[in-house]
């Protein structure tokens, strides 16, 4: 299984990489298992010299699965083209710094493989890309005024979910109900007094049972996990206290994957997490989706059956 070459991960600080929760951790460990030399860089370590993309790259390793990532040598300034693949695994938010980083990665993508493709990371809003598939999604709006939100609430039967366009990890997700005395305040908060857009989406009763995170590699599903909300909690994200539960892909899930997979592949989005709530596709996560660790544990996966092994097997094939 030995494969020689260097790979670069664009990450948050190494101290934030959780050995027991993060998919990036497993990707690093599996790259190492396959014989790659693994390097990392934070966003601030990316730079351009003319048209050449470089990084202050730090060599890293996982001493043993379950132990923290460690630095194994000093940083070096290296051209991104010197790596066989660059993996963009910086967590949201997708802010100005993230966008500038994708411009730097655009330059690298002309000379080496960058996963996920930088242009796709910019173009595909994780909350709005679902609009490409209206047959699979709950009724959704992008709105900015209190009046429009009131109209949407009435149209949606008096109950709806509000999500910030750039939200992540379940942050600032709200439920709006007609008759709530705090409704005007809630709308003002969601739109920051009419200065920004919010996403209004039909409430799906199946939310009480949690949603399903489906992992896709090169457009094909490799595994799934249910995210069950804590008692009394609206959000089911793991970062918001949701707990993992075993699941299988339904006929509807497979139908969604069959439609969304080719679209993502055409946009260069190699590793993606779909969120499915009941019968509905609610998000397409392209930045740094997680879920590998939970699926491995729930299904007792080992060796080549793990999520990270399936990821790297497909990626090695792509590298040729």
List active site positions.
127, 163, 213, 227, 235, 275, 283, 285
∠ CA 290-113-284, rounded to 5°: 35
* Contact indicator for 291, 225 with CB cutoff of 8 Å: yes
Which is it for strands 198-202 and 85-88: parallel, antiparallel or unpaired?
Answer: unpaired
* DSSP tally for the chain: helices H, then strands E: 8, 17
Report yes or no: 104 and 42 within 8 Å, Cβ to Cβ: no
98-101: long-range contacts (C-beta < 8 A, 24 or more apart)?
Answer: 98/43, 98/287, 100/43, 101/10, 101/43, 101/46
Q: In what order do the strands lie in the sheet with 271-277?
A: 243-245, 220-228, 211-217, 271-277, 280-285
CB-based contact 295:225 (threshold 8 Å): yes
User: How far are the Cα atoms of 21, 158, 257 from residue 155, in angstroms, in the given order?
Assistant: 40, 7, 29
Closest by CA position to 169, among listed 87, 288, 89: 288
């Amino acid at each position: 299984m030995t494969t020689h070459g260097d790979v670069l991960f664009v990450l948050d600080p190494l101290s934030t990489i959780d050995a027991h929760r993060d998919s990036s951790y497993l990707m690093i460990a599996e790259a190492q298992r396959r014989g790659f030399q693994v390097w990392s860089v934070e966003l601030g370590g990316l730079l351009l010299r003319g048209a050449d993309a470089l990084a202050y790259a730090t060599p890293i390793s996982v001493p043993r699965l379950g132990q923290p990532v460690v630095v194994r040598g000093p940083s070096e300034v290296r051209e991104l083209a010197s790596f066989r693949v660059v993996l963009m695994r910086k967590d949201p938010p997708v802010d100005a710094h993230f966008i500038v980083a994708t411009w730097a990665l655009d330059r690298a993508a002309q000379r080496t493989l960058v996963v996920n493709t930088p242009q796709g990371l910019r173009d595909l809003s994780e909350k709005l890309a679902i609009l490409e598939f209206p047959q699979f999604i709950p009724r959704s709006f992008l709105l900015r005024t209190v009046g429009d939100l009131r109209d949407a609430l009435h149209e949606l039967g008096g109950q709806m979910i509000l999500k910030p366009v750039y939200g992540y990890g379940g942050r600032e997700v709200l439920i709006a109900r007609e008759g709530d005395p705090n409704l005007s305040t809630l709308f003002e908060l969601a739109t920051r007094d009419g200065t920004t857009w919010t996403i209004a989406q039909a409430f799906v009763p199946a939310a009480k049972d949690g949603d399903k995170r489906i992992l896709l590699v090169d457009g094909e599903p490799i595994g799934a996990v249910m995210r069950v909300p804590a008692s009394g909690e609206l959000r089911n994200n793991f970062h918001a206290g949701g707990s993992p539960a075993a699941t299988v892909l339904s006929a509807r899930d497979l139908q969604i994957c069959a439609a969304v997979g080719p679209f993502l592949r055409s946009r260069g989005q190699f590793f993606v997490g779909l969120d499915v709530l009941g019968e509905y596709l609610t998000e397409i996560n392209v930045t740094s989706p997680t879920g590998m660790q939970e699926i491995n544990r729930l299904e007792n996966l080992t060796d080549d059956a793990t999520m990270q092994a399936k990821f790297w097997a497909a990626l090695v094939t792509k590298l040729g």
